[in-house]
């Protein structure tokens, strides 16, 4: 939808990753793979892996604190905290409740949002709408995942792809014409079975059988998700741009979900945008799920790639299967 009422945008960004680095060479010693295969098929060279005592809320809290500091907002002034994640600390309470406590965001309503790797952009859209409507003034949006906990480290087709991390943004009112200009969210539930964590929910509660059957790990038909991603990324960005009367050539910075360099290249080709406008950090972190887009946005901004007034496009795709894109004019 296009935005009409009060404008909402990003006031500050944050990110957090675990210290431990797992390289492709490390993976060569764990499963039947090679640095050459991983690099050419995905673009990934290394990823971060959470320590044993490090959970999603720990990374989310660190990223959230940094975003609050950058935005100049006190935790107690937050009205809402949304944590997008598929790896909550536990089934309930929501990870957002744990983050709220850790930050001291005592006046905030809180909830988790599950939209896989599209989660951050989904949450950003909702956050902006609450600000635009005047209902809320300061919202903390976090995308955080510790996929290493649900990765089958004996399955070479998935374990080389993922990493852990968190990214955060404080959303608040901005000058008219800035902030979120348009978004486009959606899902194809009928294709959801291509990327699942089958057990541990009400359909298949945890049992000896589900553990033995490795049903508490990511199950993915990578090539199907690949096809979906290449198709929807271009389409959703085109739709979002159209809603705010912009064209692909108007984009200054393109920040796509960092799943696979080949998917990013294919999306750029479909959109007809040159690689120098695209921010890529997949080589350093792998696919960090809901954290991927905000981590890339954070690094793009820190590296001086985004200037005031720039048109920035964010796009994610993932479990659901979902997609989400957002077009912003940078600045407050
Ligand atoms: O955030 C959303 C989450 N998911 C994604 O973004 C995943 C999207 N999909 C992809 O990125 C790609 O499909 C993959 C990177 C997962 C796989 O790349 P691909 O080019 O689609 O490879 P493939 O699955 O068609 O496998 C090609 C071959 C197979 O061998 P055979 O059957 O041709 O002999 C695999 O067994 O590569 C083999 N293979 C590997 N070889 C070495 C699969 N994984 C590995 C590996 N190392 N780690």
Measured on CA atoms in the order 86, 50, 121, 12, is the torsion positive or negative?
positive
Q: In the chain, how many domains are there?
A: 2
What separation in Å is there between the alpha carbon of 29 and the centre of ligand 1?
18
Pocket test residue of 25, 32, 41 for ligand 1, highest count of atoms within 8 A of CB = 41
Q: Which residues contact 242 (CB under 8 A, 6 or more apart)?
A: none
Contact, 246 vs 312, CB < 8 A?
Answer: no
Residue 283 is a catalytic residue = no
**117 counts as catalytic:** yes
* Per-residue tokens: 31: 């499963």
Q: Note down the domain range covering 261.
A: 181-329
Q: Which of 97, 117, 159, 268 is catalytic?
A: 117
pLDDT at 5: 76
Q: What is the CATH number of the domain that holds 53?
A: 3.40.47.10
Contact at 8 Å (CB) between 79 and 109? Answer: yes
Question: Do 296 and 255 meet the contact criterion of CB atoms below 8 Å apart?
Answer: yes
Query: Quick one: 171 and 198 in the same domain?
Result: no
pLDDT at 88: 98
Residues 159 and 191 occupy one common structural domain: no
CA-derived radius of gyration, the chain: 19
Q: How high is the pLDDT of residue 49?
A: 98
> Is 102 a pocket residue for ligand 1 (Cβ < 6 Å)?
no
Note whether residue 1 is domain-resident: no
Same domain for 218 and 138, yes or no, is no
Report pLDDT for 289.
98
Judge whether 187 lies within some domain.
yes
One domain for residues 14 and 160:
yes
pLDDT in tens, the chain (332 residues): 555 679 999 999 999 999 999 999 999 999 999 999 999 999 999 999 999 999 999 999 999 999 999 999 999 999 999 999 999 999 999 999 999 999 999 999 999 999 999 999 999 999 999 999 999 999 999 999 999 999 999 999 999 999 999 999 999 999 999 999 999 999 999 999 999 999 999 999 999 999 999 999 999 999 999 999 999 999 999 999 999 999 999 999 999 999 999 999 999 999 999 999 999 999 999 999 999 999 999 999 999 999 999 999 999 999 999 999 999 999 99
Q: What pLDDT is stored for residue 4 in this prediction?
A: 60
Name the one residue in this structure whose structure tokens are 């960005």: 237
| Same-domain status, 170 and 30 | yes
Contact 267, 230 (CB under 8 A): yes
For position 1, what pLDDT does the model report? Answer: 54
Q: Tell me, yes or no, whether 2 lies in a domain.
A: no
162 and 139 in a common domain: yes
pLDDT at position 3:
57
> In the chain, where does DSSP find H-type helix?
24-28, 35-42, 56-71, 95-103, 119-132, 156-159, 208-212, 222-243, 261-271, 282-285, 292-302
Whether ligand 1 lies within 6 angstroms of the CB of 35 is answered as no
Q: Is 10 in the pocket of ligand 1 (CB under 6 A)?
A: no
131 shares a domain with 199: no
State the DSSP code for 137: S
Which atom of ligand 1 is least distant from the CA of 318?
A: 2
**Locus of tokens 């990870």:** 95
* Contacts of 51 by beta carbon, 8 Å cutoff, 6+ apart: 18, 19, 20
Does some domain include residue 298?
Answer: yes
In a domain, 271, yes or no: yes
Q: Is the CB of 222 under 6 A from ligand 1?
A: yes
Annotation says 257 is catalytic: yes
Residue tagged active-site, from 24, 97, 257, 268:
257
Q: How far is CA 35 from CA 125, 160, 321, in A?
A: 37, 10, 29
Which residue, of 152, 179, 206, is where some domain finishes?
Answer: 179
Tell me: do 223 and 293 sit in the same domain: yes
From 179, 205, 228, the end of a domain falls on 179
Please report whether residue 107 resides in a domain: yes
Asked if 136 and 259 sit in the same domain, the reply is no
- My answer on whether 15 and 158 are in the same domain is yes
Say whether both 15 and 50 belong to one domain: yes
Q: What is d(CA 322, CA 225) in angstroms, rounded to the nearest whole number?
A: 10
- Tell which of 179, 214, 238 closes a domain: 179
Same domain as 188, residue 174: no
Residue 33 resides in a domain: yes
Q: Which two tokens stand for residue 29?
A: 């010693």
């Amino acid at each position: 939808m296009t935005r009409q009422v009060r404008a909402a945008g990003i006031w500050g960004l944050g990110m957090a990753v675990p210290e431990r680095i797992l390289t492709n060479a490390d993976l060569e010693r764990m499963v039947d793979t090679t640095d050459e295969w991983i690099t050419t098929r995905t673009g990934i060279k290394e990823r971060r892996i959470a320590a044993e005592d490090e959970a999603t809320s720990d990374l989310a809290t660190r990223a959230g604190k940094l975003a609050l500091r950058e935005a100049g907002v006190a935790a107690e002034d937050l009205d809402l905290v949304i944590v997008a994640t598929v790896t909550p600390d536990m089934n309930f309470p929501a990870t957002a409740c744990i983050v709220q406590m850790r930050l001291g965001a005592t006046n905030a309503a809180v909830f988790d949002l599950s939209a896989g790797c599209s989660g951050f952009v989904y949450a950003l859209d909702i956050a902006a709408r609450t600000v635009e409507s005047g209902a809320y003034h300061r919202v903390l949006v976090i995308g955080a995942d510790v996929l290493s906990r649900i990765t089958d480290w004996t399955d070479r087709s998935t374990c080389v792809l993922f990493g852990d991390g968190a990214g955060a943004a404080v959303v608040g009112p901005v000058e008219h014409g800035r902030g979120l200009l348009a978004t486009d969210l959606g899902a194809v539930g009928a294709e959801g079975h291509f990327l699942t964590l089958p057990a541990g929910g009400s359909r298949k509660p945890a049992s000896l059988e589900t553990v033995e059957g490795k049903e508490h790990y990511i199950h993915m038909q990578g090539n199907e998700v690949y096809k979906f991603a290449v198709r929807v990324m271009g389409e959703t960005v085109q739709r979002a741009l159209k809603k705010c009367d912009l064209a692909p050539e108007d984009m200054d910075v393109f920040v796509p979900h960092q799943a696979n360099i080949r998917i990013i290249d294919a999306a750029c080709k479909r959109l007809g945008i040159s690689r120098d406008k695209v921010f890529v950090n997949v080589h350093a972190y792998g696919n960090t799920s809901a954290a991927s887009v905000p981590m890339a946005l954070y690094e793009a901004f820190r590296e001086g790639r985004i200037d005031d007034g720039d048109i920035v496009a964010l796009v994610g795709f993932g479990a659901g299967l979902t997609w989400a894109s957002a077009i912003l004019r940078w600045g407050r």
